[in-house]
Amino acid sequence: MRHPSRPPCHHGQSLNPILAALRHACLGLALTAAAILPVLAHAQNPAPHSAQRVYDIPAGPLGTALSRFAGAAGVVLSFDAALTAGRESGGLQGNYSVDEGFARLLEGSGLEARVQGDGNYLLRRRPAAREATLAVMTVTANQLGEITEGSGSYTPGAIATATRLVLTPRETPQSISVITRQEMDDFNLTSIDKVMEHTPGIGIITMDSERTMYYARGFAINNFQYDGIPMERFSGYSAGNTLSDMAIYDRVEVLKGATGLLTGNGDPGATINLIRKKPTREFQGHASLGAGSWQNYRTELDFSGPLNESGSLRGRAVAAYQDKHSYQDHYQRKTSVFYGILEADLTPNTLLTVGADYQDNDPKGSTWGGIPVYDSNGNFNKTSRSFNPAARWSSWEQYTRTAFATLEHYFDNEWVAKLQLNHQINGYDNRMGSIGSGFPNPATGAGTSLWLGSYVGKTVSNAADLYASGPFSLFGRKHELVVGGSISRREWTNEGQWAGATAIADFYEWNGSHPEPNWSRAKGKDETTREQGFYLAARLNLRDDLKLLVGSRVADYEKEDLKKSGVVVPYLGAVYDLNRQLSLYGSYTSIFKPQSAQNEQGRTLDPLEGNNAEVGLKGAFFGGRLNASVAYFHLEQDNYAERTGNLTPSGTTAYRAVSGVKTKGFELEVSGQLTPDWQLHAGLNQQKPRLNGERVSTLAPEKQFSLYTSYKLGGKLKGLTLGGGARWQDDTWTMVNHPTQGKAKHIVEGYWLVDATARYQINQHLSATLAINNLLDKKYYTIFDSNYSWGEPRSANLSLRYDF
């Protein structure tokens, strides 16, 4: 065990000058951002598309030239970075209209910028005359939204998580946070835990070394989606969701509030949607190697491009491997990730996609719960951050296996039909031994017990979703409609053994040495969940400046003794454009969430039900390169699961259903480019969940702030990008076991964490990135039940990346 005062990073002294410089750069950028944000609403209105103005766009990569021109012209240009990869532009100097400027920049490229209305353009291949042979597909629209890879931005283009309609953030009448590929690369966000740390309004609680819980608007998030297909996480038997590696994903979208329109049931706090990378039409790839504190090694390969001469068949393969040791004694985790995907243009208007992904997480020294909060005298049981309460053999293996296919057809009348199929296995195999209960005596170390248990199981999920969307005309105006249905079946199987608790002689001399029991697992009860539903949503163009979104889902749900048919989940939203930059919005939907919690008689609680409403203001500045929003939300919930303090007949925690839980709060968020070289992602939020005036969901912070930014330097420092950020959360608390009081309120004080990053572009292909987490080495912890877990000390990671 490390001595408590021993520095966690042996090379910390040599990094001190770098740390100081990065810290000053981070704080300087933060202060500048605070000064500039209030004036964003005064951004210059874009000129009409027919009006001419003088441009001075320098020669360089085509994608960069197009982005700079769109920003200068005050329009939004959406495009797949693969279309411009490897292409150069001679720049643009002179007096041009928007359409003339695009035409000149794209001359000879075979591409065109097609106007979409409201200052939006879409870059696509110029349609060619039909030939007998299959041509490369000219439709570049992605029904999941716009690809962020290669955009160089911290803000998304269009998204489809809320309604299946592909809308910009400003057009979506709900709060949504997106962590793009660029932000993940800049800050070395290789895991979903790291991504959630950067997501405004998300609280993270460590259950143990293999399980984390995410909270939004005061409530746990258990709804995950993969390319829009729902997959519910059972946090008590974690099976890979919160260990997801980011190598295979283009972006992560977090939709705040209920999402019952597309999922049928949903958490009232948020839904996390992970969008996979897609094949590219031009060859590209990269290889990276990384090394970090505590023997943290990682390698990654990613290749993408056409597989035939015409480009009508495209593929992508991604592999990643990480061997990560830890600041905790005798803990390590090996992670293997593989991903393959093929796209085939069956006709000029029909796209078939098939793919599979695979991830294995193999840890040793896994904790089961954390460290007991109090010693036998009732004082905080403070240990070193390196203390590991687990046995050396303790392991919670988790894995995922997914196969998926989609078929999309684009009709001549601008309608599209899409069928999506998904088969996913989330499994676990754990053999656990960890000190989880008791109150250690400060003098003798006696008084704690080792929890012993072993469980193996998996959830096999099959899902299908079929929908069609497109425009229709009514009363002289063009509107949009989406109509579809989905069906899913999830089967969870589990078997295991609770081997009881074994007394530990001396807690403070614990080093993880304890024999592993001979396990004899007993088969548990299987659970099958069936869901199906029909949904419809329309975006009505009432006026040029007013859009109304109306929709509903009729859902059926069946699980064990719970069967619900014909559950109606309505959706209503409105967006009113104040001007070219700002829009007012409002939305309402209902909450329907079946629960697994049981009462003291062993009966499953009735589904959580309620209402979700929010209003707010959204802005899109600098031609959509910077998005901002402020939202006020109000939730009402009935049948909320509250702990009773007793157990069920099977020995698990018992709950009772309470009604009248109300939550209100606000969220502010800004993401995107302040200048072509300056990126920002910041957020501030507060939520107050209450039952009869008393706070509920106390493990989640009520107030949070985060700011992450990066800046590309010029002149003699060209090629160097500096970045940094900070996040803060206020106090949290819960009732925990106490040696003399039975139950006591334990408060975890709020804290700040500061990170920094620097990347240097050595040449056209090779770059080096240094990322430092917890720059100031803040000592902090999170609490769950009657145990706590230390947060990670300061760590550094250096990686090299070669782009093909």
- 476: CATH: 2.40.170.20
Judge if 309 and 244 occupy the same domain. no
Judge if 268 and 289 occupy the same domain. no
pLDDT at position 676: 87
pLDDT at position 14: 38
| Domain closes at, from 93, 110, 125 | 125
Owning domain of residue 238: 176-276
Burial class (CB in 10 A: 0-12, 13-18, 19+), 178: buried
Judge if 525 and 656 occupy the same domain. yes
CATH number, domain of 61, equals 3.55.50.30
The first and second tokens of residue 262, run together, are 């597309």
Q: CA-CA distance, 405 to 235, in Å (whole number)?
A: 27
Domain count within the chain: 3
Instruction: Give the closest residue to 598 by CA, choosing from 562, 549, 555, 638.
Output: 562
Strand 88-89, strand 60-61: pairing: antiparallel
Q: Is residue 321 part of a domain?
A: yes
- Count CB neighbours of 706 within 10 A: 22
- Count CB neighbours of 308 within 10 A: 10
Q: CA-CA distance, 481 to 90, in Å (whole number)?
A: 41
Q: Is residue 39 part of a domain?
A: no
Instruction: Give the closest residue to 789 by CA, choosing from 312, 284, 373.
Output: 373
Burial class (CB in 10 A: 0-12, 13-18, 19+), 520: exposed
Judge if 268 and 288 occupy the same domain. no
User: Residues 6 or more apart from 597 whose CB is under 8 A from it?
Assistant: 604, 605, 641, 655
The first and second tokens of residue 2, run together, are 């490390």
Q: CA-CA distance, 246 to 179, in Å (whole number)?
A: 11
Q: Is residue 87 part of a domain?
A: yes
Q: Is residue 1 part of a domain?
A: no
Q: Is the dihedral of CA 33, 37, 38, 44 positive or negative?
A: positive
Q: Is residue 392 part of a domain?
A: yes
Q: CA-CA distance, 43 to 71, in Å (whole number)?
A: 11
Judge if 271 and 302 occupy the same domain. no
**Virtual torsion, Cα 318, 321, 326, 330, nearest 10 deg:** 150
Q: CA-CA distance, 673 to 285, in Å (whole number)?
A: 25
Judge if 270 and 296 occupy the same domain. no
Q: What is the largest CA-CA distance in the chain?
A: 86
Q: Is residue 16 part of a domain?
A: no
Q: Is residue 151 part of a domain?
A: no
Q: CA-CA distance, 603 to 431, in Å (whole number)?
A: 29
Q: Is the dihedral of CA 29, 35, 36, 41 positive or negative?
A: positive
The first and second tokens of residue 582, run together, are 């700002």
- Count CB neighbours of 714 within 10 A: 10
248 sits in which H/E element: none
Residue identified by tokens 């597309």 is: 262
Residue identified by tokens 């800004």 is: 670
**Virtual torsion, Cα 580, 584, 589, 593, nearest 10 deg:** 80
Judge if 254 and 312 occupy the same domain. no
Q: CA-CA distance, 533 to 42, in Å (whole number)?
A: 45
The neighbouring-strand residues paired with 752 are 728
Report helix, strand or coil for 171: helix
Cβ–Cβ under 8 Å, residues 710 and 186: yes
Residue identified by tokens 């000053």 is: 24
Judge if 88 and 109 occupy the same domain. yes
User: Residues 6 or more apart from 749 whose CB is under 8 A from it?
Assistant: 731
Judge if 295 and 237 occupy the same domain. no
Give me the count of residues in the chain.
804
Identify how many contiguous H helices and E strands the chain contains and give both numbers.
6, 46
Judge if 181 and 227 occupy the same domain. yes
599 sits in which H/E element: none
φ, ψ (nearest 5 deg) of residue 5: -90, 0
| Domain closes at, from 218, 248, 276 | 276
Instruction: Give the closest residue to 670 by CA, choosing from 626, 705, 712.
Output: 626
Radius of gyration in angstroms for the set of CA atoms belonging to the chain, rounded to a whole number? 27
The first and second tokens of residue 743, run together, are 């139950």
Please write the tens of the pLDDT for every residue from 285-323.
Answer: 999 999 999 999 999 999 999 999 999 999 999 999 999
Q: Is the dihedral of CA 433, 438, 439, 442 positive or negative?
A: negative
Judge if 357 and 240 occupy the same domain. no
CATH number, domain of 239, equals 2.170.130.10
The neighbouring-strand residues paired with 725 are 708, 755
| Domain closes at, from 232, 252, 276 | 276
Judge if 261 and 289 occupy the same domain. no
**Residue 132 zone, left/alpha/beta (φ > 0; ψ -120 to 50; rest):** alpha
Q: CA-CA distance, 615 to 632, in Å (whole number)?
A: 5
φ, ψ (nearest 5 deg) of residue 460: -105, 120
Q: Is residue 134 part of a domain?
A: no
User: Residues 6 or more apart from 262 whose CB is under 8 A from it?
Assistant: 161, 162, 163, 164, 228, 230, 486, 535, 553
- Angle at 673 (CA atoms; ends 616, 243), nearest 5 degrees: 80
pLDDT at position 623: 80
Q: Is the dihedral of CA 234, 236, 237, 243 positive or negative?
A: positive
Question: Which residues of the chain carry a pLDDT beneath 50?
Answer: 1-48, 128-141
pLDDT at position 680: 96
φ, ψ (nearest 5 deg) of residue 103: -60, -40
pLDDT at position 650: 67
